[in-house]
């Protein structure tokens, strides 16, 4: 890679404009934006008019442009841009987590065929350098578990619901007003965004390439004030956690679900639009990373870091992919300890539970806690229905069935039948 980095930028929204402003303040990087592709030419922007074009080929075929930076919201267009740029021998930096997660196998093949570097630090946890650390610091370490608050929008909503006592809809509206959530928040609040990021993390942490339907995931749409009240009474907080953990049976548990977090847990410190990642390894024990997970400059700073890395010819080695040839894979052979709140008169299939610890009933608020297999959760959609809140208990994962007879479960079934 030549020392001079000439950039073709796709997208001038929150992240694109943030990157433009940051590059103006970092002249020592010796990188400049030559052209920016935008969709609407008539929109007023905070940059010279001659910088903009609506013609993608003008950037992709320009021999002077040696770096393409892609920060747009259109997944299909983003893949066309990235794949074309790589095939044209240009280095590429992307922030499109959905595009990367859905197309990573294809992108790996293109990188191998062309030798062009493709970096996407900002696609995992915005300002937190999780991918680079997994690639370099933990390249030969044995990672036992990763837990991540990887979506700033949902963490902001949960913080407001928990700390301010406002409803989910009110918290979502506040997040949208502040620019932390999209007008259509589906990808965030239903867990898709965090699941895309988990897919990317799994590739670099464990060498596992997968799609979203390969693991269990959900969001926070059904979490209510009574769930937050339960958490406060127990000394917990509620977080949407993307996580992976090695099982004793040799597989890997991976999922994205809301979870009660103890006040002593590092993720309990992660508030509002911030992200946090806790890595447990065989050699370095626990390490915690914390930083902003949403906003213009935090995300643009990760893009800038990738651009800077290109100046010294950095590329991902995907070392864990090479180490995991036919080895570790995703498992559904384990149990989760859950809390399930539900509306009165909702039929709860108690026989689906491996064990039951607690049953609470009062007007307007009912919940049950117990252990259930992941296979059962995958098959049973009841807990996804409106009025049902499924939240993991702390230390939720086990790959061993219960060794004791659960008298509470037996007595409840006898009573209800």
Could you list the active site residues? 197
Tokens of 20: 């433009």
Q: How far apart are CA 135 and CA 147, in angstroms?
A: 17
Instruction: In whole angstroms, give the CA distance from residue 36 to residue 135.
Output: 30
Element (H, E) at 196: helix 192-206
In the sheet that 118-119 helps form, which strands lie side by side, from edge to edge? 52-53, 31-37, 5-10, 67-70, 91-94, 118-119
For residues 71 and 16, the answer to whether their CB atoms sit within 8 Å is: yes
Where does 253-405 have alpha helices with state H?
296-310, 319-323, 374-379
Two structure tokens written together for 258: 């809301």
Residue 157 forms beta bridges with which residues?
Answer: none
DSSP secondary structure code for residue 330 in this structure = B
Residue 275, token pair as written in the block: 């992200």
CA–CA separation, 288 and 306 (whole Å): 21
Give, as one character, the DSSP assignment of residue 284: T
The number of residues making up the chain comes to 417
Task: With beta carbons less than 8 A apart as the criterion, state whether 239 and 149 touch.
Answer: yes
Question: Can you name the residues that pair with 279 across neighbouring β-strands?
Answer: 146, 287
Instruction: Please state, as a whole number, how many other Cβ atoms lie within 10 Å of the Cβ of residue 183.
Output: 5
Q: Which positions ≥6 away from 71 have C-beta within 8 Å?
A: 9, 10, 11, 13, 15, 16, 19, 94, 95, 96, 303
Taking the C-alpha atoms of residue 33 and residue 44, their distance in angstroms, rounded to an integer, is 18
- Where does residue 227 rank: exposed (0-12), middle (13-18), buried (19+ CB within 10 A)? buried
Whole-number Å distance between alpha carbons of 301 and 127: 6
CA-CA distance, 177 to 273, in Å (whole number)?
A: 13
The helix/strand/coil state of 414 is helix
Query: Which residue's entry shows tokens 């008539």?
Result: 42
């Amino acid at each position: 890679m030549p020392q001079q980095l000439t950039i073709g930028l796709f997208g001038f929204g929150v992240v694109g404009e943030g990157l433009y402003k940051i590059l103006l303040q970092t002249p020592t990087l010796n990188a400049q934006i030559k052209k920016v592709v935008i969709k609407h030419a008539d929109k007023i922007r905070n940059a010279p008019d001659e910088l903009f074009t609506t013609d993608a080929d003008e950037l992709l075929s320009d021999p002077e442009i040696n770096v393409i930076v892609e920060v747009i919201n259109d997944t299909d267009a983003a893949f066309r841009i990235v794949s074309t740029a790589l095939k044209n021998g240009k280095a590429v930096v992307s922030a499109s987590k959905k595009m990367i997660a859905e197309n990573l196998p294809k992108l790996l093949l293109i990188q191998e065929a062309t030798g062009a570097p493709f970096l996407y630090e900002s696609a995992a946890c915005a300002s937190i350098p999780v991918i680079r650390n997994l690639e370099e610091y933990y390249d030969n370490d044995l990672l036992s578990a990763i837990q991540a608050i990887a979506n700033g929008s949902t963490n902001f909503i949960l913080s407001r619901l928990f700390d301010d006592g406002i409803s989910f809809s009110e918290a979502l509206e506040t997040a949208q007003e502040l620019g932390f959530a999209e007008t259509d928040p589906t990808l965030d609040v239903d867990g898709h965004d965090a699941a895309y990021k988990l897919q990317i993390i799994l590739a670099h942490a464990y060498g596992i390439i997968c799609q979203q339907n390969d693991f269990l995931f959900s969001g926070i749409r059904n979490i209510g004030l009574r769930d937050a009240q339960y958490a406060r009474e127990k000394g917990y907080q509620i977080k949407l956690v993307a996580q992976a953990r090695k099982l004793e049976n040799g597989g890997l548990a991976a999922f994205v679900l809301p979870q009660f977090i103890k006040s002593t847990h590092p993720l309990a410190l992660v508030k509002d639009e911030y992200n946090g990642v806790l890595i447990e390894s065989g050699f370095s024990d626990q390490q915690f990373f914390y930083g902003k997970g949403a906003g213009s400059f935090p995300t643009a700073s990760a893009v800038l870091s990738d651009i800077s890395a290109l100046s010294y010819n950095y590329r991902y080695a995907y070392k864990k992919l090479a180490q995991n040839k036919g080895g570790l894979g995703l498992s559904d052979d384990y149990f989760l300890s859950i809390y399930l709140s539900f509306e009165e008169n909702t039929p709860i299939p108690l026989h689906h539970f491996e064990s039951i610890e607690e049953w609470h009933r009062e007007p307007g608020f009912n919940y049950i806690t117990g252990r259930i297999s992941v296979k059962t959760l995958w098959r049973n959609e009841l807990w996804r229905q409106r009025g049902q809140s499924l939240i993991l208990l702390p230390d939720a994962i086990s790959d061993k069935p219960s060794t004791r007879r659960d008298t509470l479960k037996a007595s409840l079934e006898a009573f209800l039948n």
